[in-house]
Amino acid sequence: MIHHIVMWKLKDFAEGKSKAENAIILKKKLEGLKNDISEIVEIRLGLNIESEYSNFDAVLHTYFESFETLEKYQNHPKHNSVAEWIGKIRDLRYCVDYEF
């Protein structure tokens, strides 16, 4: 099993919306991928509830059966569309993939 974790620091304002508005849209878009991409075993996006001392605004936890299914997810057109939009609303992105 592969655990794919991505964290983002969002821009204060992007694509005509506030950080808080984009965070909610981000959650809906990413969690909605479960309906379109069969390789996803589980997907959850957590939004930061504390901002004074935190560095990131959102964290994605996604699980896949193998590196091959992770690769299919990463190359899927629906994922690429969401990723392109995320590129417009984020300042920073960090990712970790590990097998367990």
Give the global pTM. Answer: 0.94
Instruction: Give how far Cα 83 sits from Cα of 49, 50, 51, 76, 100, Å.
Output: 23, 25, 24, 10, 25
Tens of pLDDT along 76-97? 999 999 999 999 999 999 999 9
Strands (E) located in the chain: 2-10, 13-14, 17-18, 42-47, 58-64, 90-99
Selection from 68, 60, 2 nearest residue 33 by Cα: 60
Residue pLDDT, tens place only, 12-61: 999 999 999 999 999 999 999 999 999 999 999 999 998 777 789 999 99
